Amino acid sequence: MNLIGSQSKIKMLFIGPKDLVEELRINVPISWEIICVNSMEEFINSPSEINVILDSSIREIIDLNLIELSNVQIIACASTGTNHIKYQANKSDRISIYSLRDVPELLRTLTSAAEFSFGLLIALSKQIISATESTKSGIWNRTEFPGTILKGKQLGIIGFGRIGSAMASYANSFGMDVCFFDPYLQEKPTNFSEHDSIENLVANSDFISMHIPYLPDVSIRPVITREMFLMFKSGSYFINTSRGELIDEVGLISAIDSGRIRGAALDVLVGEPDISSNLIYNYAKETKANIIFTPHIAGYSSENVKVATMGILDHLVKQMNRD
């Protein structure tokens, strides 16, 4: 569908680092006008009429119901997720939304999320964050933060796509055993064990890491339910760099509180970026539980942002030229 006529003036809002603007200009038709902001708040304070958005902000909420965005017809996101874009159902037939899922060949070159996820696994197993905070407070206590040896431990991966398979490779180099659950995987790896259910995977894994997308239209209930958290292997660790909505937060809290789960590392939370009322966040504040929080930065690096931004821009321009 030709959303923007060939004679239309293209005004593109770029939400992202301003040091990329000059490179953007080189890679779009000379007639395009680019408006660059660091955040949606900056744009709303000085609105301009725009019809295209290039989003490299990672998690800025883009509410297309705002009058300032009423003429937007195309959005291209330098991310895999698009659930930060809000719009009414009756607008969906006139809006095209592109994400990195539309350019899988580019996605395969981006490794930050997998590297970060494995970094969280190491931080959990070695209690690096707790030990650092304690030492910074002036306490030197070697016996309070014993680490867990990774060699010989089992890593269970939920979702064996680009990030999950990279995690498996990293774990393998540390001497860990790897198993996975992914009913949508077409080409099954032969060097890792496959489980036929999440329940079997979590019951037999020392570390569990999630790498699946959150799709609001189909993810009606959490992928890991409260009942599943009760099945986790005693003393296991949980890592989530996918989406907070994919897990039952009360179930995770109960599993940590009982000691079934020894620690968790969460790069994503329900309600982000405003986490003031998030259940797990407030539980950790009150109890000092062994939980690592990071602000949804697993896939974020300056290199990643540049490669992803230019890649999705190229896809956007090609789609518009095709139409």
CB atoms within 10 A of CB 222: 19
The b-or-e profile of 263-283 (16+ CB within 10 A means b, else e) is bbbbbbbbebeebeebbbbeb
Q: How far is CA 150 from each of CA 52, 112, 147, 163, 195, rounded to the nearest angstrom?
A: 47, 21, 9, 19, 21
Known active-site residue 195? no
- Indicate which residue of 115, 194, 272, 315 is catalytic: 272
- Indicate which residue of 84, 162, 211, 296 is catalytic: 296
Known active-site residue 272? yes
Known active-site residue 243? yes
- Indicate which residue of 243, 245, 249, 262 is catalytic: 243
Looking at the annotation, which residues are catalytic? 243, 272, 296
